[in-house]
Structure 1
Amino acid sequence: MLKDIERRIRSLEARLNQSVQVGEVTSVDAARGTAQVRLATPGNADGLITHDLPVLVRKTHADKDYAMPDVGEQVLCVFLPMGLETGFVLGSFYSSRDTVPVASADKWHVTFSDGTSLEYDRKEHTLTGSVLGDARLSVSESEEPGKGGNMQLDVVKNFTATVGGDQSVSVTGNQTGTVGGTLNITVTGEATVSAPKISLVSPGGSVTPLDGVVTGNCICAVLGIKHPQKSAVVFASM
């Protein structure tokens, strides 16, 4: 009986020693959300490769979180008492081989392998995003009537947007902009505005302060010739 108890204790110790292990990801099944891991086992120089282990994420039911480890990434695994056949990848960790991208307890940071990064500094109240390629934001109607579909951006301080290439904005409804100070727009090329009617109104003026823009085709009612005071920089069609 004593030998049986000793055998069970040794078996329990062996299972406990194997329950939590560090390994290196050898393959990832992105469709299933699983990964195989090579474990460093005593007496096995090549290591033991596990079965497909589910990768733990924060939520999977109503809200879904998704992030798979990379092949070659160091991860921490936990295994159920029945053995190495059933377990989970708890996550990865920083080490001397994989160092931290930032060194601040006030920052939430994500860096992708292509160079794109997203960071929020709670101490400075600053959100910074650097996208290597295109950035897309889609705002759609909610399935619940009366909710969703609107986007509001409130900036208390300064806002700067720099576009290295072309920019295209399509608004199917109305668009209204209000500037409390001075509006300065500089266009190095040509500026074209196409609309059924264009009104330039000063503060406190009527909706149509003038009948139209004076062009080179306007005939002066007094002289009977093309108007000499035509605009030299503003061009318009009928």
Structure 2
Amino acid sequence: MAISNNLIRNAIVSTVDPTKMTATVIFLDKDNIISGPLQITGRGGKTVKDFWLPEPGDYVTCLMNPNNVTSLNQGCILGTYFNNQNPVPNGAEKGKRILDFGDGTRIEYDKKTHTLSINCVGLIKINGKEIHLND
């Protein structure tokens, strides 16, 4: 059985729909064909959820339905990837987890030094039944 060369595709996000967790993408190597709504793979499920959407212009890798070789409208977005147009965040290295929001807000954890750094350009709200600092 031959595997379609359209199974794994790189594309650029065109539009997103946060209510349906879908996005349309542009396939540059397919004469800029725009896909139908593709599901965005997430983490979590029924009760635990991790919500994230790519933004228009983000470079993404898509997994397309192998049973639909005539259309690029059935599949899902696996995630974004880094390249020259979308470089890795400053300070990225092994043992670090970085969440950079692009507006100056950044959360970084360094596993080697056990340091959590939070830089927020706006308001920080912390809510809880009890909050203990340095107990």
Q: TM-score, normalised by structure 2?
A: 0.89
1:76 deviates by 0.1
In structure 1, the partner of 2:75 is 87
Structure number, greater radius of gyration: 1
CA deviation string 1:102-149 (max 9, x = no partner): 23112111111211000011111111000101000111xxxxxxxxx2
Determine which of 43, 47, 56 is the counterpart of 1:62: 47
1:96 deviates by 1.4
1:134-145 maps to which residues of 2 (within 5 A)?
A: 134-139=123-128
Larger strand percent:
2
| CA distance in structure 1 between the partners assigned to 2:97 and 2:52 by the alignment | 16
| CA distance in structure 2 between the partners assigned to 1:38 and 1:82 by the alignment | 21
Q: TM-score, normalised by structure 1?
A: 0.52
1:82 deviates by 2.5
| SS of residue paired to 2:104 | coil
Determine which of 114, 118, 124 is the counterpart of 2:113: 124
| CA distance in structure 1 between the partners assigned to 2:117 and 2:29 by the alignment | 43
The residue identity in structure 2 corresponding to 1:77 is C
1:30 deviates by 1.3
Determine which of 37, 51, 61 is the counterpart of 1:76: 61
Structure 1: state its 5+ residue gaps. 1-8, 140-148, 156-238
| SS of residue paired to 2:5 | helix
CA deviation string 1:131-180 (max 9, x = no partner): 101000111xxxxxxxxx2332336xxxxxxxxxxxxxxxxxxxxxxxxx
Alignment of 1:34 with 2:22, yes or no, is yes
1:35 deviates by 0.5
In structure 1, the partner of 2:87 is 99
The residue identity in structure 1 corresponding to 2:88 is V
The residue identity in structure 2 corresponding to 1:154 is N
RMSD (Å) for aligned C-alpha atoms: 1.5
In structure 2, the partner of 1:17 is 5
Determine which of 132, 150, 169 is the counterpart of 2:130: 150
Tell me the number of residue pairs that the alignment of Structure 1 and Structure 2 aligns: 131
1:61 deviates by 1.4
